[in-house]
Amino acid sequence: MMRYVLSLLLACFMWAVPVAAQDGPLRIEITEGVIEPMPFAAPDFVSDNAAGAELGRQIANVIAADLAGTGLFREIQPEAFISKITSFSSPVQFADWKAINAQALITGAVSVDDGGKVIVRFRLFDVFAGQELGDGLQLVGTQAGWRRIAHKVADQVYSRITGEAPYFDSRVVFVAETGPKDARQKRLAIMDYDGANVKYLTDSSSIVLAPRFSPNGDRVLYTSYESGFPRIYLLDVGSVQRRVLESQDGTMSFAPRFGPDGQTVVYSLTRGGNTDLYRMDLNTGANTRLTSAPSIETAPSFSPDGSQIVFESDRSGVPQIYVMPAGGGEARRISFGQGRYGTPVWSPRGDLIAFTKQSKGRFHIGVMRTDGSEERLLTASFLDEGPTWAPNGRVIMFTRETQGAQGRASLYTVDITGRNPRQVPTSTGASDPAWSPLQD
Amino acid sequence: MDFRAFPWRAACGRRKLSTTTDKRVGRNTMKHMSKVALLCAGLALAACTNADRFDDTNTVDLNGAGAGGFAPGSAQDPNSPLYFQQAIGDRVLFAVDQSTLSPAAMGTLDGQAQWLMSNADYTAIIEGHADEQGTREYNLALGARRANSVQEYLVSKGVAPSRLKVVSYGKERPIEICSSEACYAKNRRAVTVISVVPTS
Amino acid sequence: MNTGQVISGAGHLGLIAFALFGGAFQSEPLPFEVTEVTAISAEEFAALTQGESIPEAVANVDTPEPPQEGEAPALTSEADTPPERSEPEVAETPPPDEVPEPVEPAPVPQADVSDEPPVMQPPQEDTALLVPEESPRPQQRPAPRVAPEPVAEPEPDVQVDDVERQEVSPSEEPAEVVEEESEATAPEEATTEIVTEAEENDVANAAPAQSIRPRTRPTRPEPTETAEPAAPETDNSAVNDALAEALGQSGTSSNEAPQGPPLTAGEKDALRVAVQNCWNVGSLSSEALRTTVVVAVEMAENGKPVTSSIKMLSSSGGNGAAAKQAFEAARRAIIRCGSGGFDLPVEKYDHWRDIEMTFNPERMRIK
């Protein structure tokens, strides 16, 4: 009996201390880690002439800003650097970078040829492993397009380290706002995702709302009061030419969004006070009615495969989120939380739906799975609305408006984990962002 | 004349009428300041204007085109747009999320219908608005519901549907800019903006 | 079977019972005042403390208790079961043993296992006087870093490092490490989970209501659960420590054997904790966060990993690219935290010359 008890006891111990009986390698399992920005160093890209050197500095700055802006990386300030990168090809002194805890190191070289063509080469190192990650790349662009080159380098680095798809080389179309709240002037504008290179697409003579990119970023759909009534316009980003989409007198159309084919548009049409969803074929102009309910149906968004549409409806009494087949038909409610849900947008990855939620006098941007489960609120403020996805589905941009008579709208981004909320710098007020796909 | 000298204006705060109407108000109030001032005091919503607006050069003078005769265009002229706007009331208010008409709103709309019936030269655009609590898209649809309620009511009182158009501004054009219920209540509105039928 | 073993066995049974039911190893929440500080945001905190230095600990009546008896076991093993939700956990963990502290040595066999205890730090509740009394439910205070254990914001003049260090004179520091000689370091401020804006309790507004529909969490892998005893694993390791030592004392193994006894659970734990402190999954894609990798590493006798020996043995859960990123994060963890040599008993070198580490990020995904 004693023996039995003891062996049981010992068995118990052996099970808890497997190493005691084991031969071969020591085995441990790591299930807890830390989540923190990875420190990186991006010294100025080297160049053999002054013009290139200045460009090399600027490019390194943009790369650093891109990476640090994700919240996944932390830039080590150049003042801390021990060794200097003077040549692109000479070996890296890893110990010097280890000493300042730089885990990733980005080096590069810029050369500007006589024709003004800019050639940028870069390499990425895992400092602690003492290895180069991937193969360095060479990018060629124009001097005016140097920021895009920098974004592309940063995209490569981001992708290589995190495994996420890139998104820095993208643009945002939005509504630039000036003037007081009760006399606000709105213009359509386009800029780089980081707020640089703002270009206006319309004047401020009429209200414009909620621009949306086509799947390849060449065109924008938006709503304008140009005719005195809300109508949908299609604007070519390159030529800035626009045309109004056909609509009947006495109706209002708004909240347009492209389907993944770039030819189908889904939108809201209001007739006799009732708002329903329609889809239009841009080639033929043919319209199909998708919903017919006395309730409000608006803010439609296609799934990336084009098979379904998520939208907002108040058929239950308060606005909630529903999903239906892209050709219309029975809709299934997916949001069940307290409060009001609106402006659902399907993630480009297809796995999540971002939305605006209004609850207890606060607005939130949140995400949920496409069946409505795992709802997670990412932000909270007086007024957050209108989420749009980064092309890689990892970051969401939205409008945040401050409270009161001096209220002003600005653009913010947030990681889908809810980390790293930050404002996108814009010189004017800004609202209704729409993120472009990654540029070619 | 400087409006800032009038004490009532301070009480009104920084308000203005809907964009379509305030231009006219500017000219008219110049002529009938004292009366308008009284009306302003009496009508919570009226005639509180934005000083910058008076600099507008492209103001539309409806007086000449309005009904002729006695005190043309004045707020006392029952056939004037100003009378419609101020004495009858050009707007009705709605409860949160609602587009149903309150008894008070119906009273106002009865007056509007009557005026429109007796002033056949005018057409109207009914603007629906919402407060800022809500998404842009939903508020556009909600404003449309409100404008439609007004339109249907006016039609039921005999106004020809062809004379009425509706438009929704959602939350794009608040008249009150604070972020509290006092302002929201005034922003949840449908405004009947009258205009002259173009003479052909 | 000799009587000594019976007595030892019975004694350990008693110890287990005590561990399970005596509450000795429960990490009781320390006084809650500490957590109230979580009700203000980092910005608010910065604003409040602007222009004045953080009060010295000595001047502070409410300094959190130094480690007390019975708590110390939690110190060695806390990392096993990191707090997963924002319970009113201790905001600071006790200082390291190598820090000369006027504290009684805790009754732990493995007292010199150097966890990376964060630096003792003056609590910020002094500055929280403006926060209304009716503190909302305890909440993680947002920090740019998520770690197994919450770490209070370090003192401003302390360098952030993964390993806490005392200020030492240059000569005592390994020569290869440049520029670290004169700076005290402390772990960076951290919370145990990501705090979104929506979860931050600003005082004026309660947190938004949760969904009616319960959120379905990703199902956890059974293995990690089943491999653990029903009792918190913290207990287990401490018990094992005690057991290992007791067994040693009872003469079942000889310390004179050339390869020494196997590593104790405490020693293994120390290694695990040391690696996980550098295992940063914060810059991994969602896909890589679904990927478990098994990594082999060969160790030098000085406790340092042989960098070139680190290789991925297998991966599961993600595609090849994701496995690559997951492996690289694991490799960085081993190299970075092993750069000063892991604290492993040299007499047992044969037992840890080859190590296989499984990096399973499952729990990190839901932070």
Residue where a domain terminates, one of A162, A189, A210:
A162
| Same-domain pairing of A6 and A107 | yes
Sort out which chain C residues have CB atoms less than 8 A from A162's CB and list them: 283-285, 288, 325
Identify whether A407 is part of a domain.
Answer: yes
Q: Under DSSP, is residue C24 helix (H, G, I), strand (E, B) or coil? A: coil
Q: When comparing pLDDT for B105 and C173, which is higher?
A: B105
Between chains, do A229 and B167 touch, taking CB under 8 Å as contact?
yes
The tokens describing B66, both together, are: 């309005």
How many Å apart are CA C160 and CA A74, to the nearest integer?
Answer: 13
Sort out which chain B residues have CB atoms less than 8 A from A270's CB and list them: 140-141, 144, 168
- At CB < 8 A and 24+ separation, what contacts does B37-44 make? B37/B6, B37/B8, B39/B75, B39/B86, B39/B87, B40/B8, B40/B12, B41/B8, B41/B11, B43/B86, B43/B89
Between chains, do A36 and C277 touch, taking CB under 8 Å as contact?
no
| Same-domain pairing of A292 and A380 | yes
Residue C129: count of CB within 10 angstroms of its CB: 7
Identify whether A176 is part of a domain.
Answer: yes
Q: When comparing pLDDT for C139 and A222, which is higher?
A: A222
Interface of A with C in 71-100 (CB under 8 A): 71-73, 82, 95-96, 98-100
Identify whether A207 is part of a domain.
Answer: yes
- Whether the Cβ atoms of residue C222 and residue C184 lie closer than 8 Å to each other: no
Task: Please give the tally of structural domains in chain A.
Answer: 2
Edge-to-edge order in the sheet of strand A242-244: A208-213, A219-224, A231-236, A242-244
- Whether the Cβ atoms of residue A201 and residue A188 lie closer than 8 Å to each other: yes
State the best of A175, A177, A181, A312 to mutate against chain B, taking most chain B CBs within 10 Å. A181
Subunits close to C (at least 3 CB pairs below 8 A): A
Confidence class for position A23, pLDDT limits 50, 70, 90: low
The ipTM (two decimal places) reads 0.89
Identify whether A79 is part of a domain.
Answer: yes
| Same-domain pairing of A131 and A15 | yes
**Is A356 at the interface with chain B, CB within 8 A?**
yes
| Residue-wise DSSP of C134-183 | S--S--PPP-S-B-SS-BPPPPTTSEE-SS-B----GGGS-TTSTT-TT-
- Nearest of A389, A395, A393, A388 to residue A432 by alpha carbon: A388
| Same-domain pairing of A57 and A204 | no
The tokens describing C306, both together, are: 């042989």
Over 60: is that where the pLDDT of B134 sits? yes
How many Å apart are CA C216 and CA A315, to the nearest integer?
Answer: 26
How many Å apart are CA B167 and CA C58, to the nearest integer?
Answer: 68
| Residue-wise DSSP of A128-146 | TTTEE-S--EEEEEESTTH
| Same-domain pairing of A188 and A155 | no
Q: Which phi-psi region, left, alpha or beta, contains residue B97 (left: φ > 0; alpha: ψ -120 to 50)?
A: left
User: Which residues, in sequence order, are CB contacts of C256 under 8 Å at separation 6+?
Assistant: none
Between chains, do B134 and A404 touch, taking CB under 8 Å as contact?
no
Identify whether A87 is part of a domain.
Answer: yes
| Same-domain pairing of A254 and A392 | yes
- At CB < 8 A and 24+ separation, what contacts does C24-29 make? C24/C70, C24/C73, C25/C70, C25/C73, C25/C74, C25/C77, C25/C232, C25/C234, C25/C235, C25/C238, C26/C74, C26/C232, C27/C71, C27/C74, C27/C78, C27/C89, C27/C90, C27/C234, C28/C71, C29/C87, C29/C88, C29/C89, C29/C90
| Same-domain pairing of A300 and A415 | yes
What is the domain extent for residue A372?
Answer: 171-435
> Across chain A, how many H-helices and E-strands are there?
4, 32
| Same-domain pairing of A238 and A356 | yes
| Same-domain pairing of A307 and A341 | yes
Residue where a domain terminates, one of A162, A187, A214:
A162
**Is A22 at the interface with chain C, CB within 8 A?**
yes
How many Å apart are CA A193 and CA C358, to the nearest integer?
Answer: 38
Pairing of strands A104-112, A38-41: parallel
User: Which residues, in sequence order, are CB contacts of A239 under 8 Å at separation 6+?
Assistant: none
The stretch A76-94 carries a mean pLDDT of 91
Identify whether A112 is part of a domain.
Answer: yes
The stretch A227-254 carries a mean pLDDT of 94
Identify whether A440 is part of a domain.
Answer: no
Query: Which residues does residue C165 pair with via DSSP β-bridges, in sequence order?
Result: C185
Q: A93-97, A212-216, B79-83, C121-125 — which is least confidently predicted?
A: C121-125
- Whether the Cβ atoms of residue C363 and residue A32 lie closer than 8 Å to each other: yes
State the best of B140, B172, B180 to mutate against chain A, taking most chain A CBs within 10 Å. B140
Between chains, do C355 and A27 touch, taking CB under 8 Å as contact?
yes
Query: Which residues does residue B162 pair with via DSSP β-bridges, in sequence order?
Result: none
Which residue among A34, A128, A373 sits closest to C279, beta carbon to beta carbon? Answer: A34
**What does the pLDDT look like over C53-79, one tens digit per residue?**
444 444 444 444 444 444 444 343 444
- Whether the Cβ atoms of residue A141 and residue A118 lie closer than 8 Å to each other: yes
Radius of gyration of chain A (CA): 26
Edge-to-edge order in the sheet of strand B164-170: B91-93, B189-196, B122-129, B164-170
Identify whether A350 is part of a domain.
Answer: yes
**What does the pLDDT look like over C6-63, one tens digit per residue?**
666 666 666 565 555 554 444 444 444 333 334 445 555 455 555 444 444 444 444 4
| Same-domain pairing of A110 and A186 | no
| Same-domain pairing of A361 and A415 | yes
Sort out which chain B residues have CB atoms less than 8 A from A385's CB and list them: 135-136
The CATH number linked to A61 is 3.40.50.10070
Residue where a domain terminates, one of A110, A143, A162:
A162
Tens-of-pLDDT digits for all 367 residues of chain C?
A: 566 676 666 666 665 655 555 544 444 444 443 333 344 455 554 555 554 444 444 444 444 444 444 444 434 344 444 444 444 444 444 444 444 444 444 444 443 434 444 444 443 333 333 434 444 555 566 666 777 666 666 555 555 555 555 554 444 444 444 444 445 556 667 777 777 887 765 444 444 433 344 444 555 544 444 444 444 444 455 545 544 454 444 444 434 444 667 888 888 899 999 998 889 998 888 889 999 999 999 999 899 999 999 999 999 988 888 999 999 999 999 998 888 889 888 888 888 999 999 999 988 876 5
The tokens describing C134, both together, are: 């009716």
Instruction: Please state, for a pLDDT cut of 90, what percent of chain A lies above it.
Output: 83
Between chains, do C211 and A33 touch, taking CB under 8 Å as contact?
no
**Is A1 at the interface with chain C, CB within 8 A?**
no
Class (C level, CATH) for B81-196: alpha beta
Between chains, do C283 and A72 touch, taking CB under 8 Å as contact?
yes
| Same-domain pairing of A237 and A92 | no
User: What beta strand segments (E) does chain C contain?
Assistant: 159-160, 185-186, 292-298, 311-316, 354-359
